[in-house]
Amino acid sequence: MKLSLLTGLLLCAYMPTVHALNILFVVDFFPKRTETFILNQIARLINRGHTIWIHSYHQGKSSELCSIIKDYNLLERASYGTVCPHALSTFDILYCQFGMVGTKMLRQKKQEECDAKLVTCFRGYDITCQLQKNPHSYTTLLAEGDLFLPVCDCFAQKLISLGADPQKVIVHHSAIDCSMFCYKEKDCQDSDKVNMVSVSRLIEKKGIEDVIRALALVTKQCTNIHYTIVGDGALRKKLEQLVHSLGLRDYVTFLGSVSHEKVVSLFEFADIAILPSKKARGG
């Protein structure tokens, strides 16, 4: 299979189908509600006539099911465990989500001596914190993988600096259906409450603490404001305590993890969407 076909198919899955492919999506956890971008890719490829299977090294929670998983019966397409039970030679593409997953699948691919193309997407933690812990994490993967899909230009340059062939590195942004998030003009009065919303994991690099501290300053002059925080994570308890200590309980709501459909409705309701970020201590 030519690399150009791999590239065109996996970059967006909108190209005319040359022939149906058998693709194995390899992930760390499945199902996982926060990885809608992976589910969107799967759905689009199925719609284009390709056969999709999923192998996950860990089994997610049943509460993480969403409409795409149900509509496409993805649980019936999934396998679990430290080793994929399928014969890898039956696949055209092994599509690994995150660098650490790519290294695991490469080992099995070499053991089975199969010719399937190994494609790895790099998204965040895998190309920052993981490399701080072990700068040589991807030496073998970058030498032997067939295609690398970082989600931004910065990560692309990082892979090339680590030794990846530039011809095998293509920026592939996360697959989100932006048509679901359309701007709507609102007729706001001075007395109307301003609704702000953030959707993220509650971890240091997402910067939610900074928004809360800024809100404490804003509410000294403007009280008709409310901040809804969607998502969960290791810092949730700490952030809730911060809200309490700053006297913001009437201004902040923690919703926890919600469905993708709920996220869409929250953005429709909101006046301001806030997406902060910061460099965490882990890099």
pLDDT by residue for the chain (283 residues), tens digit each? 344 445 555 544 444 455 889 999 999 999 887 788 898 899 999 999 999 999 999 998 776 677 888 889 999 999 999 999 999 999 999 999 999 999 999 999 999 999 999 999 999 889 988 988 899 999 999 999 999 999 999 999 999 999 999 999 999 988 777 777 777 777 776 667 899 999 998 989 899 999 999 999 999 998 899 999 998 989 999 999 999 999 999 999 999 888 778 888 888 888 999 999 988 887 7
**Same domain? 121 vs 155:** yes
Is 278 within the bounds of a domain?
Answer: no
Is 177 within the bounds of a domain?
Answer: no
**Same domain? 160 vs 226:** no
Domain span including residue 44: 3-168
Is 35 within the bounds of a domain?
Answer: yes
d(CA 32, CA 18): 31
pLDDT reported for residue 37: 86
From residue 35, give the alpha-carbon distance in Å to each of 65, 129, 130, 144, 241: 11, 19, 19, 27, 28
Residue 279 CB neighbour total at 10 angstroms: 10
**Same domain? 63 vs 152:** yes
**Local structure of residue 167 (DSSP, 8 states):** G
**Same domain? 130 vs 32:** yes
Dihedral sign from CA coordinates of 14, 65, 57, 232: positive
Residue that is last in its domain, among 109, 140, 168: 168
3-class secondary structure, 104: helix
**Same domain? 217 vs 128:** no
Residue that is last in its domain, among 100, 135, 168: 168
pLDDT reported for residue 120: 97
d(CA 190, CA 22): 56
d(CA 5, CA 232): 38
Is 175 within the bounds of a domain?
Answer: no
**Same domain? 92 vs 208:** no
pLDDT reported for residue 14: 41
Is 60 within the bounds of a domain?
Answer: yes
pLDDT reported for residue 31: 87
Domain CATH number, residue 50: 3.40.50.2000
d(CA 275, CA 50): 35
**Same domain? 8 vs 94:** yes
**Same domain? 28 vs 69:** yes
Is 282 within the bounds of a domain?
Answer: no
**Same domain? 17 vs 136:** yes
Domain count of the chain?
A: 2
Residue that is last in its domain, among 141, 168, 195: 168
27 - beta bridge partners? Answer: 56
133 - beta bridge partners? Answer: none
**Same domain? 115 vs 210:** no
Is 190 within the bounds of a domain?
Answer: yes
First to last CA, the chain: 38
d(CA 129, CA 152): 16
Is 281 within the bounds of a domain?
Answer: no
**Same domain? 150 vs 245:** no
**Same domain? 220 vs 142:** no
d(CA 13, CA 15): 6
In which order are the strands placed within the sheet that holds 22-30? Answer: 78-80, 51-59, 22-30, 93-97, 117-122, 147-150
Residue 143 is encoded by which pair of tokens? Answer: 């030498």
Q: Which of 92, 100, 139 is nearest to 117 (CA)?
A: 92
